[in-house]
Amino acid sequence: MGKNEEVIRQYQEDEKRMVLIFAQWCINHQLDPFAVYGEAYPTQMNNSILKEVIDWTVDASESDPIDTEMIIQILQAYGNDDLAMIVFEKSQEMKQK
């Protein structure tokens, strides 16, 4: 495997971890990851990575807490600014309840 292929493979693995953390954050807050994702990206409702990693999530009672600021920063680091904004909005709504 060449260096470029290794970099691509590592990026894809990191991207899956990012999506998994996002999905778990949603589950921890009783939110549907697909619905939240759809709010940010309505034209990309069939996200294959999200479909793949959703089976790796656990019930909120079994999960460690995921810091909202951390997930926002991770999403922004991967260029998912729209999704980061939706996560921020959802967190604000939860604080108001």
pLDDT of residue 37: 96
pLDDT at 66 over 90: yes
pLDDT at 34 over 80: yes
Per-residue pLDDT tens digits for 2-17: 888 999 898 889 999 9
pLDDT of residue 45: 75
pLDDT at 53 over 90: yes
DSSP 48-96: HHHHHHGGG---GGGSPP--HHHHHHHHHHTT-HHHHHHHHHHHHHHHH
Domain count, the chain: 1
pLDDT at 97 over 80: no
User: What is the rounded distance in angstroms from the CA atom of residue 63 to the CA atom of residue 10?
Assistant: 25
Burial 6-36 (b: 16+ CB within 10 A, else e): eeeeeeeeeeeebbbbbbbbbbbbebebbeb
Structural domain including 42 reads 3-96
